Amino acid sequence: MRCLALLVLIPLAGCAGVEGPSAENIQAVRTFPTNYKAELLAYLRTFLNDPTNVRNAYVSEPVLTRVRGVERYVNCTRFDAKAATGGYRGSRDHLASYFGGKLEQFVELRAEAADQCKSASYQPFPELERLTR
């Protein structure tokens, strides 16, 4: 039985070679998200309980950085949106990551991770404040 297990593992070990990322993968990581604002707006239109009347909206320009050991373009977005109950939640920071120039992930930063956006160079994001359903 041990020999059978080794026969299965040996070919798989070859698949885990020391080759680095492919040229296509490197290119995708380094593709600047030129339409990041439009992608954020499209996502937030469906993500937010009430995408209307967002206030105090700010966004930073994407920068190439390492997050948890993975290189990606990321940017920060800060805004105050209405909760499901209808009241405002208070201003919150969010981190967006991009791969191949497209929005890959959008997460609200918890207090322990808020330092990821502390040095962001925020600019007003009036398009988010004018968002409709």
What integer pLDDT is reported at residue 114 of this predicted model? Answer: 76
Structure tokens that stand for 63 in this block: 């920068």
37-46 tens-digit pLDDT: 999 999 999 9
Structure tokens that stand for 15 in this block: 């698949």
Residue 125: other Cβ atoms inside 10 A: 21
Average pLDDT over residues 15-25: 72
Q: What is the DSSP string of 67-90?
A: ETTEEEEEEEEEEEEE-TTSSB--
Average pLDDT over residues 38-66: 95
Pick from 88, 11, 28: which is nearest to 64 by CA? 28
Residue 131 vs residue 3, higher pLDDT: 131
pTM score of the predicted model: 0.80
| Contact between residue 77 and residue 54 where contact means Cβ atoms under 8 Å apart | no
Q: Could you give the dihedral angle defined by the CA atoms of residues 31, 32, 34 and 36, in that order, rounded to the nearest 10 degrees?
A: 110
Residue 4 confidence (pLDDT) above 60:
no
Domain boundaries, the chain: 29-129
| Contact between residue 33 and residue 104 where contact means Cβ atoms under 8 Å apart | no
What integer pLDDT is reported at residue 120 of this predicted model? Answer: 93
What integer pLDDT is reported at residue 3 of this predicted model? Answer: 39
pLDDT class of 11 with cuts at 50, 70, 90:
very low
| Contact between residue 13 and residue 101 where contact means Cβ atoms under 8 Å apart | no
Residue 6 confidence (pLDDT) above 80:
no
Please state which of the ranges 36-45, 50-59, 92-101, 112-121 shows the lowest mean pLDDT.
112-121
Distance CA 10, CA 85 (A): 57
Instruction: Provide the mean pLDDT of the chain.
Output: 86
φ, ψ dihedrals at 38, nearest 5°: -65, -40
